[in-house]
Chains A and B, each alone.
Chain A
Amino acid sequence: MRLGWLVSPALHLAALGATLIVWTQAPPELKPQTNSVPIDIVDISEVSNVSPIAADAEPVESLAPESVQGAPQELAEAIPAPSFKPAPEKKPDTPKKTREGLNLDDLAQLLDRSKPAGAREPPATTGPKAKPGERPRLGVGAGDGLTATEQDAIRAQMRGCWRMPIDMVTPEKLIVKVRVTFQANGAIVGQPEVVSPSNFRTADPPTRAAAEAALRAVRLCNPLHVDPNRRAGGDMTLNFDPREMIAP
């Protein structure tokens, strides 16, 4: 018993002392300093969702707008007029040239020098193009999204097509979201759809006019300026938001 009284403190002291023992660490081995590693800064959009670059990229012809127009919608019957006859067959001859070379885009360019390429123009070659000597490479991702470059191109394209409602009384309330489905060549499939405000056809006149102006912009900018070498189309929502342009 007495021995136990002696052994116990001794063991406790030994255990305590053991905690004070430190193994000497070897100094970290210093590596010789090297120069910084050269890196390439790559547009993330190319990695996230791209179409492969083709070695022989050819400009894609724009689709004629009529090829993607949907059937006329239900006609408003404000006049109790006879039903429509089918439109006369269009003559196959080429349309005659308008007088004075009427081209709204040219005029708009004069009115607004910041206006970029808009409708009725071939899609911009917005994506990366194959340069001489560059090898084709595989794209990464599904290819149905839009690169940042393509999004910028569509924004620039819409500047020439969208008549902003900033001269209305409360333009900050006239924000319109339009959903479109597009093909790989940028042509819009079917009719663009106003997703917000969803009830625009029965809304107050300014809201309805703003929504129709957004729809008009999308139709005027058809086909969309996407990378001509895209592999797939996709869906997107365009938020027409005039708040940035409202004078302070």
Chain B
Amino acid sequence: MRFLTILFAACAALVAAVSPARAAIEIDITRGHLNPMPVAAPDFIAAPGADPRVGQQISALVRANLERSGLFRALDQAAYIEKVVDINVQPRFADWRIINAQALIVGQTTQLPDGRVRIEFRLWDVTAEQEVFGLQYATTPENWRRIAHKISDAIYERLTGEKGYFDTRVVFVAESGPKTRRVKRLAIMDQDGANPSYLTSGDYMVLTPRFSPTAQQITYMSYESGSPRVFLFNIETGRQEVLGQFPGMTFAPRFSPDGSAVLLTLEQGGNSDIYRMDLRSRQRTRLTDNPGIDTSPSGSPDGTRIVFNSDRGGSPQLYVMNADGSDQKRISFGDGRYSTPVWSPRGDLIAFTKQTGGRFQIGVMRPDGTGERILSESYLDEGPTWSPNGRVVMFFREPRPGAGPSLFSVDLTGQNLRPVPTPTQASDPAWSPLLP
């Protein structure tokens, strides 16, 4: 019996050895492209009784959002062959393949008896000829922008595998008036520049606003009390307060990644060091103790490390330390002066401002200082802030002396630089987390 088993195994091995190698072919595909995915999104259909403008506005904003991300290309509606008249009917995929659409977004608005509008959409994978997913919302018609942003985020996340960033806001410093009597006010708007409004009056100068990563709260520096002080501002209630009573000037505030504390710089007797202020206990902890200027702290998303800017080596460079201030290491070694480091919410990169050759650049590097890449450059590019998904960096630019600052965004490839519209000249943007 044992002999037979061995004989059978030997025969099987022999047969396997001489059989043609069907299904054994493996091809390594190691190179692809980074081109945006072509997407078709016809105007949402208006059910009988619904205002057709709502659907048109929503689909237009979804197309604009996806296009601006740099990861998608919204196909021209004039190229569409099929006219979608019912979102519950399977599309004619061949018609969409002809125009090279890889994804198709169809939607419909329906007027509800209570005055609200029901907005529903479906995402189709044209290449697989199957529905990916669909969602619906019910809201008041004037809330169509939020819904369009939420639809954009849902589609973005499903197709890229990363959270979106469209349903977010940006707080910035709105600037107006001549250089000698410059008015700087805190302002807030949607990430695409819509719905701008002012948060402060302009009676005193404000600088470096930073969004809480977990709440609708801002910290910023203000001259309201005469000397620079760090303030907290609750956007929902409008409540404003000075953060702690420090003996010297406080500036460069930024929330810790969990929103429970603020990292800031305290200047005392000509020396600037980094402190951590717990927002509940209001206890402060000194993190650096160096005769140089240590400033611009930014925490890693896991809360274990902090990147900051210091001139202890002779020129402003970037350093990383543990959250308790230990193990301080320099990470920037390129030519030029590095400042305003900001740790990406993804944790993989640090954005910074770099000054070299009389020009300013916005760049990114890994937390260990490797892989430095410059994303933008001009006469003055400064103050990067990350989108909550860590894909896009917003900053302010002054393209030439006296031109005045304005906001721009650029994605991680550096190929997708776009202006962000603001009602006035603008600087110091700070991106909010996704709205609840």
Q: How far is the CA of A179 from the CA of B89 in the complex (A)?
A: 31
Looking at the complex, which of B124-132, B257-265, B333-341, B393-401 is the stretch in contact with chain A? B124-132
Q: Which of B33, B90, B130 has most A Cβ within 10 Å?
A: B33
Contacts of B73 on A, CB cut-off 8 Å? 104, 107
> Which residues of chain A from 80 to 132 have a CB within 8 Å of any chain B CB?
81-88, 90, 95-96, 98-100, 102-105, 107-108, 111-112, 115, 120
> Is residue B280 within 8 Å, beta carbon to beta carbon, of the partner chain?
no
Cross-chain contact B128 with A241 (CB below 8 angstroms)? no
Cross-chain contact B32 with A159 (CB below 8 angstroms)? yes
CB distance from B45 to the nearest CB of A (A): 13
Cross-chain contact B98 with A162 (CB below 8 angstroms)? no
Contacts of A244 on B, CB cut-off 8 Å? 30-31
Cross-chain contact A168 with B26 (CB below 8 angstroms)? no
Looking at the complex, which of A8-16, A33-41, A52-60, A207-215 is the stretch in contact with chain B? A207-215
Cross-chain contact B29 with A239 (CB below 8 angstroms)? yes
> Which residues of chain B from 86 to 103 have a CB within 8 Å of any chain A CB?
86-95, 97-100, 102
Known: A76-B132, A145-B21, A206-B162. A102 touches B102 (CB 8 A): no
Known: A84-B89, A234-B25. A69 touches B129 (CB 8 A): yes
Cross-chain contact B20 with A216 (CB below 8 angstroms)? no
Looking at the complex, which of B75-83, B170-178, B378-386 is the stretch in contact with chain A? B75-83
Cross-chain contact B76 with A102 (CB below 8 angstroms)? yes
Cross-chain contact A73 with B34 (CB below 8 angstroms)? no
> Is residue B412 within 8 Å, beta carbon to beta carbon, of the partner chain?
yes
Contacts of B94 on A, CB cut-off 8 Å? 66, 90
Q: How far is the CA of A235 from the CA of B21 in the complex (A)?
A: 10
Cross-chain contact A236 with B89 (CB below 8 angstroms)? no
Looking at the complex, which of B140-148, B153-161, B244-252, B313-321 is the stretch in contact with chain A? B153-161
> Which residues of chain A from 152 to 180 have a CB within 8 Å of any chain B CB?
154-155, 158-169, 179
> Is residue A217 within 8 Å, beta carbon to beta carbon, of the partner chain?
yes
CB distance from B276 to the nearest CB of A (A): 27
Contacts of B31 on A, CB cut-off 8 Å? 155, 158-159, 164, 244-245
> Is residue A63 within 8 Å, beta carbon to beta carbon, of the partner chain?
no
Cross-chain contact B32 with A158 (CB below 8 angstroms)? yes
Known: A98-B99, A145-B21. A162 touches B29 (CB 8 A): yes
Cross-chain contact B29 with A237 (CB below 8 angstroms)? no
Question: What residues make up the interface of A, taking CB atoms closer than 8 Å to B?
Answer: 65-66, 69-76, 78-79, 81-88, 90, 95-96, 98-100, 102-105, 107-108, 111-112, 115, 120, 141-142, 144-146, 151, 154-155, 158-169, 179, 191, 204-210, 212, 215-217, 219-220, 234-245, 247-248
Q: List 19 A-B contacts (CB under 8 A).
A: A66-B93, A76-B134, A90-B95, A99-B79, A102-B75, A141-B20, A155-B30, A159-B32, A160-B33, A163-B32, A163-B37, A169-B347, A205-B157, A216-B102, A234-B22, A237-B26, A238-B29, A243-B30, A247-B371
Beyond A159-B31, A209-B161, A248-B371, 5 additional pairs, beta carbon < 8 A: A66-B97, A79-B136, A154-B27, A155-B30, A237-B27
Question: What residues make up the interface of B, taking CB atoms closer than 8 Å to A?
Answer: 20-23, 25-35, 37-38, 73, 75-76, 78-79, 81, 86-95, 97-100, 102, 120, 122, 125, 127-136, 157-162, 346-348, 370-371, 373, 390-391, 412-413
